[in-house]
Chains A and B, each alone.
Chain A
Amino acid sequence: NAGVTQTPKFQVLKTGQSMTLQCAQDMNHNSMYWYRQDPGMGLRLIYYSASEGTTDKGEVPNGYNVSRLNKREFSLRLESAAPSQTSVYFCASREITGWSTEAFFGQGTRLTVV
């Protein structure tokens, strides 16, 4: 009963390096989301995918790209990491056929860019 699985859980990058955060859900949900959490700012939406084959920008998309690989997987890529991208990243999924279905979250990836 995995739910939403994020890998890795922790990562340290040097400025300018690239990396991909992976997210997979096993609940057959249509929508998937990537957020970043910074102290005092709540969770801010980076990108989301309402359904397989679509992606849209959220509140803070600059410096990130996403791929909705299939219905299960939604990856987040940092092409050239910057210290400002140090944060905790959360992936979430949600079934949108119901009017008020909640999102389910992964345990987060703590990323430090030095």
Chain B
Amino acid sequence: AQSVTQLDSHVSVSEGTPVLLRCNYSSSYSPSLFWYVQHPNKGLQLLLKYTSAATLVKGINGFEAEFKKSETSFHLTKPSAHMSDAAEYFCVVSDQGGGFKTIFGAGTRLFVKA
């Protein structure tokens, strides 16, 4: 069975500084990995997804994530935070066993200070 752990429930950064949101996963099969973002009172938007073509994945709005199989991690980064990045971020894992069950992490709330 797969699982996903987001290591920080809250992260606070200043505008213009780097962002790091950490995610560890567990999967019995080769996993599909995703990051979604949810702005307050909004729906879920896909930021990026791991496709196995490359371990460093680029997403929208300047976000990237690196797949590290040896560490079972898929951390999300951005070089320079913007006020509009303040939102909740979810790491998601799905694997080909178990009928493509798709599991969310508990989420990381990102605060961006001016």
Contact = CB atoms under 8 A, between A and B. Distances in A.
Interface of A: 31, 33, 35, 40-45, 48, 50, 54, 56, 58-59, 90, 92, 94, 96, 99-103, 105-108
Interface of B: 6, 9, 32, 34, 43-44, 46, 49-52, 90, 92, 94, 96, 98-107
Counting chain B CB atoms within 10 Å of each CB, the highest count among A35, A43, A106 belongs to: A43
Given A100-B32, A100-B51, A41 B106 contact: yes
A72 to B, nearest CB: 18
A108 B104 contact: no
- Residue from the set A44, A50, A94, A99 with the largest chain B CB neighbour count within 10 Å: A99
Contact of B49 (A35, A50, A59, A102): A102
Nearest to A56: B99
A72 B85 CA distance: 34
B101 A42 contact: no
B51 A58 contact: no
Contact of B90 (A42, A58, A94, A107): A42
A105 B100 contact: no
A102 B106 contact: no
Nearest 10 CB-CB pairings of A with B: A50-B99, A42-B106, A43-B104, A100-B51, A42-B107, A100-B32, A42-B104, A105-B44, A96-B100, A102-B46
